[in-house]
Structure 1
Amino acid sequence: MKIKHPIIIGIDTHKATHVAVAIDTQGTRLAALSIPANSKGYLELERWSCGLGHVQAFGIEGTGSYSAGLSRCLLAQGHHFVEVTRPNRQLRYTQGKTDSLDAEGAARSVLPGQANSRPKTQTGSSEMIRHLKIVRDTAVKLRSQAMVTLKTLIINAPADLREVLDQIKGKIGLIRHIAAFRPGDILNTLASAKAAMRALARRWLLLHEEILGHDKELERLVIKRAPDLMQSHGIATMTVAEMLILVGDDPARIRPEAAFAKHCGVCPIPASSGKTHRFRLNRGGNRQANAALYRVVIVRMRSHEPTLAYVKKTHERW
């Protein structure tokens, strides 16, 4: 029986093709392969890798983008893979850049343990929440743009029309009133203004209904996944959704609190030199999760007794 030696596979991913390079545990390059970025190519890569030896790990860059399909395929086959960061720019400058070199660099970063982050599985409820959150955020942005444009048209509308609209109280009432306009044939500026306003108002109403539908589905998924967190003070559906998107479907992926703080960009960053010892604010991490934590803190600083007591104690200390 032929003994299979341990190997590591590095993969450089692109939209149409993926390039893989195999190295042994001593760092010796063994072979390379280019495959199409589809199911047939993924299976070909898996068979090729297993034929070279015992695969200890796959090092893949961009498991959340071009390599998402490959990552799901390897996970379904029971393989271990890690997220690889972007290639070192200094090495790129001295050694050059090709897809094969990038794949080899991905494999070599796994070898000494430099790349050891566990990627998200992208197959559970967190991925479902991420999908809905993306389309909801897009709809919210478009709705805001429609409202800004509508307000501009109202300000610049003919005086008679503007005076009528100024008398209507409430945003929803105003939009529904405008959506019911009947401008008729566009023969003057009054008719054109009404037609443009009606189009924007109807667009706003459609987007509003879409957002409400996404909110309902997101709330259902979030309550099912993290019911206890939803009961916490100052935490709403979208806040929990951002946290679940960050963590993924495997809670053990981010173990200590310090790792979670680093992912959210709320841990202090050392900025010391010589006899000077200091820290600076973290500008990295997941900015959406960072904003969600900020909203929680702001709410709790207003109405959460333990938080108010902590803030008071901190101020007294300084």
Structure 2
Amino acid sequence: MTSMNPDPRLRRVVIGVDTHKYVHVAVALDDIGGRLDDRSFPADRAGYEQLIDWAADLGARRLIFAIEGTGSYGVGLTSAVRRRGIGVVEVLRTDRRDRRLRGKSDTLDAENAARAALSGNATSVPKTNDGTVEMIRQIKVAKDVAVKARTSAMITLKAVIVTAAPELREQLQPLSKMALINRCAALRPGSITTVAAATKHTLRSIARRWQQLNDEIKTHEKLLTELTTQLVPQLVAAFGVGADTAAELLIVAGDNIDRVRSEAAWARLCGVAPIPASSGLTTRHRLNRGGHRQANAALYRSVIVRMQHHQPTRAYVTRRTSEGKTKAEIIRCLKRLLAREIWALLRPLRSTNTTTTAIT
């Protein structure tokens, strides 16, 4: 550990933090990048207060935290820093090339986080996790897990039927999905003394699990509809969006949507912003692949619905097709237009004052 006497004339100190499950490692840098101190603190409420107090004792006029993993192991520290009225920015994982050159340690990662903020490469404001959007995110997690389990149950049910005795398989295979679930849930295997009885027992168990998961998913969907409609009714009412897509996009935006500075930044976050890809005499653009994949997928689903049932979108597709655009190119254009429309619909959530913490 390196320690220096703090200079009371320090204009600014940046605290880089490498977060882990049980311990957080912090490094303090002064305004010109000199290391002042480094410490390790427990990853609990008492440790958060100790870390903040240690940083405050460095004597800087202005204090800024640069934290890795603000949405996972660093979420508690981020909230504690915000409650103390201190600026905080989110830092992405260290560049792999830098790791190969300098090595890897928790202290080096914390220092790299501080230098990223000090140089202006890290300016992202972390999401808050204390509002309606966080409630939506928690329920969406429960719903997504239940949907995966329900899909797995149906796949397993049909796989069991394939290897079932011919007399049972021939009765069940022609049935539709819901008829199959109801028939299997009503099976009476009796005593498990034969392979046929064991198969019926398995089919009944899987079918009833599917029914339970289906009821659970409906409950989650009802809650998501209530919360999203309460927060952004104009977004839920948009053609082809609905509660599930609105929930996904709100989760990407966060409770503090002001952290997204502009409509162009929102498009980039959703992975629909074009970036230059020119070389020599060729001038072209391609999509930025660094956006949020779930948000991009939500936009894609809404665009497909509009292409099938929304008359203005169908007219747009017809016009662009006559201009020689391929279907994939048209979908990319529609996703960009939809992202712009959604940004406008989210305007009521944006306050007049920005919450962005600039590193200046």
What displacement does 1:313 show?
3.0
Of residues 68, 88, 91 in structure 2, which corresponds to 1:84? 91
- Matched with 2:331 is none
Q: CA deviation at 1:166?
A: 4.7
Shift of residue 147, structure 1, vs aligned partner: 0.6
Aligned residue for 1:205, secondary structure, equals helix
The residue that corresponds to 2:117 in the other structure is: 110
Report the CA distance between 1:99 and its aligned residue: 1.0
Q: Which residue of 2 aligns with 1:15?
A: 21
Question: Is 1:223 aligned to residue 250 of structure 2?
Answer: no
Map of 1:135 onto structure 2: 142
- The farther-off stretch of 243-252 and 169-178 is 169-178
Aligned twin of 2:267: 261
The worse-fitting range, judged by mean Cα deviation, of 308-317 and 288-297 is: 308-317
* 1:52 counterpart SS class: coil
- The offset of 1:4, in angstroms, is 5.8
Task: Indicate whether 1:279 and 2:285 are aligned.
Answer: yes
Superposed displacement of residue 214, structure 1: 0.8
CA separation of 1:271/1:4 partners in 2, compared to 1, >3 Å: closer, same or farther? closer
Q: 1:284 Cα deviation (Å)?
A: 3.0
* Cα distance between partner residues in 1 of 2:168 and 2:307: 45
Contact 1:87-1:102 at 8 Å conserved across structures? yes
Describe the superposition over 1:139-158 as per-residue Cα deviations: whole angstroms up to 9, x where unpaired: 11111111111112223222
Give percent identity, aligned residues only.
Answer: 50
Judge conservation of contact 2:14–2:63 (CA < 8 Å) in 1.
yes
Instruction: Confirm or deny that 1:57 pairs with 2:73.
Output: no
CA contact (8 A) 1:6 1:53 kept: no
Say whether the 8 Å CA contact 1:125–1:221 is kept in structure 2.
yes
Q: What count of residue pairs does the alignment treat as equivalent?
A: 316
Unpaired segments of 5 or more residues in structure 2?
1-7, 325-360
Spell out structure 1 runs of 4+ moving beyond 4 A: none
Matched, 1:164 2:168: no
Relative to structure 1, the CA distance from residue 211 to residue 25 in structure 2 (aligned partners, 3 Å threshold; closer, same or farther) is: same
- How has the CA–CA distance of structure 1 residues 6 and 166 changed in structure 2, closer, same or farther, with 3 Å as cutoff? closer
**Is structure 2 residue 204 aligned with structure 1 residue 198?**
yes
Listed as ranges, the gaps of 5+ residues in structure 1 are none
> How far off is 1:109 after superposition?
0.8
CA contact (8 A) 1:11 1:59 kept: yes
Q: Report the counterpart of residue 46 of structure 2 in structure 1.
A: 40
Residue identity in the other structure for 2:160 = L
**Secondary structure, counterpart of 2:86 in structure 1:** coil
Is residue 317 from structure 1 mapped to residue 323 from structure 2 by the alignment? yes
Amino acid across the alignment from 2:283: H
Q: 1:312 to 1:171 in 2, by over 3 A?
A: closer
Structure 2 CA distance, aligned partners of 1:103 and 1:156? 56
1:75 equivalent in alignment to 2:62: no
Shift of 1:195: 0.8
Indicate conservation of the 8 Å contact 2:15/2:66, yes or no.
Answer: yes
Q: Distance in 2 between matches of 1:243 and 1:92?
A: 34
Task: Please name the residue that 1:152 is paired with.
Answer: 159
Match of 2:294 among 280, 288, 300: 288
CA contact (8 A) 1:83 1:115 kept: yes
Seen in structure 2, the aligned counterparts of structure 1 residues 19 and 307 have a Cα distance that, compared at 3 Å, is same
Aligned-residue CA RMSD in angstroms? 1.7
Letter in 1 for 2:275: I
Q: Secondary structure at the match of 1:192?
A: helix
Contact 1:14 1:66 in 2 (8 A): yes
In structure 2, what is the equivalent of residue 188 of structure 1? Answer: 194
Report the Cα distance in structure 2 between the residues aligned to 1:252 and 1:52, rounded to whole angstroms: 30
Q: Specify the SS of the correspondent of 2:255.
A: coil
Residue 177 (str. 1) matches residue 183 (str. 2): yes
1:234, distance to aligned residue in structure 2 (A): 1.0
**1:240 equivalenced with 2:246 (yes/no):** yes
Alignment CA distance shift 1:56-1:313 (3 Å): farther
CA contact (8 A) 1:229 1:235 kept: yes
